[in-house]
A and B are shown apart, each in its own frame.
Chain A
Amino acid sequence: AQKVTQAQTEISVVEKEDVTLDCVYETRDTTYYLFWYKQPPSGELVFLIRRNSFDEQNEISGRYSWNFQKSTSSFNFTITASQVVDSAVYFCAPPGGRDDKIIFGKGTRLHILP
């Protein structure tokens, strides 16, 4: 069975601090994709990034960066110089099972305090 764990339920940091959100994905699959989504207060989820298990290079997009380590099954997400607009719930989403359904972790609620 596949399992995704976002151990941090809620995080609060002061604006301009860096913050890292953790995600651990357990699977017996040798190849897979992992996703991160953002859910702002409006409610609609927005896709942020997709990585596949072959690629362990860090990905950087502006203030966002992702670190994927297959050996530890972790796919962590770092926001540098956080801003109030980063306040949201962030979901790590591994792929589903053989029937391709998309499942989600419980999410991490991030509060950026001004």
Chain B
Amino acid sequence: DGGITQSPKYLFRKEGQNVTLSCEQNLNHDAMYWYRQDPGQGLRLIYYSQIVNDFQKGDIAEGYSVSREKKESFPLTVTSAQKNPTAFYLCASSRQGRGTEAFFGQGTRLTVV
């Protein structure tokens, strides 16, 4: 079945450590996105990519980094520069164009301990 896979589902990190969240899709979508969701909050865009080897900052990119070396994969690294990384992270993908809906993974809940 086609879809988006995020791993791991739960992740614990010590302060000062970098951590990478995985996102893989087999939908052949060009566009991929990372969102952050805090309790009781909406989705805020971290980074997005419309094509391989290219990506753009979203509204809250500071303290995060991404890569898009393959169409299927869009990993997100939460660096030690991110001051408050504990949150729920959602990855999504879509076809190109404004009229296309996004498909989401099940999310990764990151907790800094």
**Is residue B41 within 8 Å, beta carbon to beta carbon, of the partner chain?**
yes
Query: Using Cβ atoms and an 8 Å threshold, which residues of chain B touch A102?
Result: 33, 45, 48, 92, 94, 102
Shortest distance between the CB of B71 and any CB in chain A (Å): 17
B contact residues around A101 at 8 Å (CB): 33, 45, 48, 56, 58
| Contact segment of B17-25, B61-69, B75-83, B104-112 | B104-112
Q: Across the interface, do A44 and B104 meet the contact criterion of CB distance under 8 Å? A: yes
What residue of chain B has the Cβ atom nearest to residue A107's Cβ?
B42
Residue contact A44 to B107, C-beta cutoff 8 Å:
yes
Q: How extensive is the interface on chain B, given as a class?
A: 20 to 34
Nearest B residue to A96 by beta-carbon distance?
A: B98
Give the docked Cα–Cα distance between A55 and B24 (Å).
Answer: 35
A104 vs B50: C-alpha distance when bound (angstroms): 18
Q: A99 to B58, alpha carbons, bound, how many Å?
A: 11
Select which of A37, A42, A44, A100 is within 8 A of B31 by beta carbon.
Answer: A100
Contact indicator B42/A33 (Cβ below 8 Å) = no
CB distance from A103 to the nearest CB of B (A): 6
Number of interface residues of A (CB under 8 A): 26
Q: Using Cβ atoms and an 8 Å threshold, which residues of chain B touch A105? A: 42
How distant is the Cα of A83 from the Cα of B98 in the complex, in angstroms? 32
Q: Which of B50, B99, B106, B109 contacts A50 (CB 8 A)?
A: B99
Q: Residues of A with Cβ closer than 8 Å to B?
A: 32-33, 35, 37, 42-47, 50, 52, 91, 93, 95-96, 99-107, 109
Tell me the B residues contacting A by CB distance below 8 Å. Answer: 31, 33, 35, 40-43, 45, 48, 50, 56, 58, 88, 90, 92, 94, 96-99, 101-107, 109
Q: Contacts A32-B98, A43-B90, A50-B101 known; list 4 others, CB within 8 Å.
A: A42-B106, A45-B92, A47-B102, A102-B48
